[in-house]
């Protein structure tokens, strides 16, 4: 998986450049077995393993869904998962991939894939929690059918911003706006989670479309369990390699012009909800949204 065309065609050159300045190049995403970085968290019998654990499937039935989490906690880095979503009638189901810290004033970075009736498109909802405050939802349609093939979903997180990627396309940027009084995730290590569960009280058309259990089990497939982050204890206040990793370097402190054009393309063609433009919900624009207008 490449991180934007800037991170694609120029990726190897950038690795060499960073290697020359840092002494060690960042890892490119590679296929690694599930068990290297992750463990199941609930309903172990609803996870199936294939090809020596390099691929897994999560299943949801009327009794339970299932999920897994990373073994470690991380402060900053690049985290990705290749997922093939539940095919067919997936209304009411949610496939989630997210990072979250552990306490009540938690930080969280969310991908949530909301299923739909057969023939209707999936909705991808993203959200960012800082210091326990969320309510920063954005929703898009995807420009492909995510049930047909594996696609990569990734997060780049550093002191400057959080970028959500779908394959090589940046779909959302949440910038550090501490100078505007907005908290930013920088001192709470987060674990990585994924789950498949029933949320038919809200997931599809606000809960109007219920899960059709005659279609169960619902199955989502995973591979490419890539983690390149600064591992830290849950009590850490900073990463002891801060400023030394590739994601801290200037090239990764903002999108380049081509990536901004791709982000604007997503905004204009596929965005169906953005809390920053919801004046009924937020008569006064949330302060971090002034940075969002850079797009």
Q: Active site includes 112?
A: yes
In terms of pTM, does the model score above 0.85? yes
C-beta of residue 145 within 8 angstroms of C-beta of residue 226: no
Q: How many Cβ atoms sit within 10 Å of the Cβ of residue 210?
A: 14
pLDDT tens per residue, the chain (295 residues)? 444 444 444 333 333 333 333 333 334 556 789 999 999 999 999 999 999 999 999 999 999 999 999 999 999 999 999 999 999 999 999 999 999 998 889 999 999 999 999 889 999 999 999 999 999 999 999 999 999 999 999 999 999 999 999 998 999 999 999 999 999 999 899 999 999 999 999 999 899 999 999 999 999 999 999 999 999 876 666 676 666 789 989 999 999 999 999 999 999 999 999 999 999 999 999 999 998 766 6
Pairwise CA distance, residues 185 & 190, whole Å = 9
* Domain boundary assignment for the chain: 30-241+257-292
The one catalytic residue in 105, 108, 149, 251 is: 108
Q: Active site includes 251?
A: no
The one catalytic residue in 105, 112, 209, 288 is: 112
Pairwise CA distance, residues 82 & 242, whole Å = 27
| CATH dotted code for 30-241+257-292 | 2.60.120.200
Burial of 242 (0-12, 13-18, 19+ CB in 10 A): middle
């Amino acid at each position: 998986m490449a991180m934007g065309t800037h991170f694609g065609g120029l990726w190897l050159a950038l690795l060499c450049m960073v290697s020359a300045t840092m002494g060690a190049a960042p890892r490119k995403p590679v296929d690694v077995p599930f068990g290297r970085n992750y463990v199941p968290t609930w309903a172990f019998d609803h996870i199936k393993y294939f090809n020596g654990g390099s691929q897994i499937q999560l299943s949801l039935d009327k009794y339970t869904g299932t999920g897994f989490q990373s073994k470690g906690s991380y402060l900053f880095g690049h985290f990705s998962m290749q997922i093939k979503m539940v095919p067919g009638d997936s209304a009411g189901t949610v496939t989630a991939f997210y990072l979250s810290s552990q306490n009540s004033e938690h930080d969280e970075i969310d991908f949530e894939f909301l299923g739909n009736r057969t023939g209707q498109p999936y909705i991808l909802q993203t959200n960012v929690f800082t210091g326990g405050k969320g309510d920063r939802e954005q929703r898009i349609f995807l420009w492909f059918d995510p049930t047909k093939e594996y696609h990569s979903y990734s997060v780049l997180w550093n002191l400057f911003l959080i970028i959500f990627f779908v394959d090589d396309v940046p779909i959302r940027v949440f910038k550090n706006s501490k100078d505007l009084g907005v908290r930013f995730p920088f001192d709470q290590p987060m674990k990585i989670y994924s789950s498949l569960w029933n949320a038919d009280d809200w997931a599809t058309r606000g809960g109007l479309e219920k899960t059709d259990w005659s279609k169960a089990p619902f199955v989502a497939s995973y591979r490419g369990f890539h983690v390149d982050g600064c591992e830290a204890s849950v009590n850490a206040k900073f990463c002891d390699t801060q400023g030394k990793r590739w994601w801290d370097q200037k090239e990764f402190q903002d999108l380049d012009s081509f990536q901004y054009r791709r982000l604007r393309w997503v905004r204009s063609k596929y965005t169906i909800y953005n809390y920053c433009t919801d004046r009924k919900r937020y008569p006064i624009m949330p302060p971090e949204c002034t940075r969002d207008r850079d797009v």
